[in-house]
Amino acid sequence: MASQEHQKLPDPRSIRVIKLHGVTSSEDVICFDLITVSLNALPTPTYEALSYTWGGQPLDQLVYANGREFLVTENARNAMRRLRPYKPGKFRYIWIDAICINQQDNDEKSSQVQMMPDIYAKAKRVDIWLGEADETSDFIMRWLRWTGLPFGPLYSARQRLEAAGLLSRTYYRRSFIFFLVQICDTFALWIVIFIALGPLLPFRALPIFKGFKRKIQAGLENLAAREY
């Protein structure tokens, strides 16, 4: 079964990629074209892959695909709004599983899930969307960049879960335990250090650092609470 936006893929090594249109304002509607590329093509098609959660959210956000109305989740809309170029005539090419895979075609879903390791591996870059920013999340992300904390295992675990077939919310919940095990030695360890052991840190010794410590704790708690 193919929707008007999801024309049948020509061969098993083809995928759809979003050609995201540039805009002048954040208030402009989101428009994109769904184009078909082959993973076997030389040179390799240039695109980014987006990793984010979309299960559980209704398809109630209006965007335009190939000039037609198209409904996506709030997370997908927000991510595309942030990632699109802010210059008319410019485009950004992104693979987003929930949009690029025809969710009404079970055969296609099964085939595309098996290709996910290749799709991520061939992407120019993988964008991880954790949700809209706020004051505490902005602060902690800047701080994590300053200190160089490793986020590799965070993506690595997510990639393995995507490759396992995360096209259903139920499967995601079952796999989430595995995901936590994969990242607990890095990301969760830092949360433990700064939240559970916070009173032992040297920040306590100097009053000038107390506000800084509170910001770090609030930022880490913010990230830990986000669904991903």
DSSP secondary structure string, 37-80? EETT-SSPPP-EEEE---TT--S-EEEEETTEEEEE-HHHHHHH
Q: Where are the alpha helices (DSSP H) in the chain?
A: 74-83, 97-100, 106-122, 135-147, 152-165, 169-183, 189-191, 210-225
Give the model confidence (pLDDT) of 125-164 as tens digits: 998 887 777 766 666 666 666 655 444 444 444 444 444 4
The distance from CA 123 to its chain's CA centroid, rounded to whole angstroms, is: 13
35 vs 203, which has greater pLDDT? 35
User: Which among 159-168, 176-185, 205-214 has the top mean pLDDT?
Assistant: 205-214
| Domain limits, the chain | 14-128, 135-225
Q: Identify the pLDDT of residue 161.
A: 42
What integer is the mean pLDDT of 47-52? Answer: 91
User: Which amino acid is residue 90, in one-letter code?
Assistant: K
Q: Identify the pLDDT of residue 91.
A: 97
Lowest-confidence range among 3-17, 122-136, 166-180?
166-180
